[in-house]
């Protein structure tokens, strides 16, 4: 999956080494081995789907 190109905003985020290593381990389990930013997007999307915002 390519990153979204429309109506987006950059987000700078610092993560500890353990978190980065965990993200990298999850990436390796994916058939397409996504980039770190793409893996973070997937993790966030899955979390949002499990915990929909109350609007």
| CA separation for the pair 4, 40 (Å, rounded) | 13
- Reported as a single tens digit per residue, the pLDDT across 6-54 is 888 999 999 999 999 999 999 999 999 999 999 999 999 999 999 998 9
What's the confidence (pLDDT) of residue 50? 96
Report the predicted TM-score, pTM, of the whole model to 2 decimal places: 0.82
Residues 5, 9: Cα–Cα separation, whole Å: 9
Q: How far apart are CA 3 and CA 40, in angstroms?
A: 11
Give the Cβ contact number of residue 11 at 10 Å: 7
CA dihedral 5, 11, 16, 18 (to 10 degrees): -30
Q: What is the pLDDT of residue 24?
A: 98
């Amino acid at each position: 999956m390519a990153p979204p190109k429309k109506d987006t905003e950059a987000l700078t985020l610092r993560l500890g080494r353990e978190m980065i290593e965990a993200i990298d381990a999850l990436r390796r389990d994916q058939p397409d081995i996504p980039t770190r930013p793409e893996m973070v997007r997937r993790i966030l999307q899955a979390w949002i789907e499990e915990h929909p915002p109350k609007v």
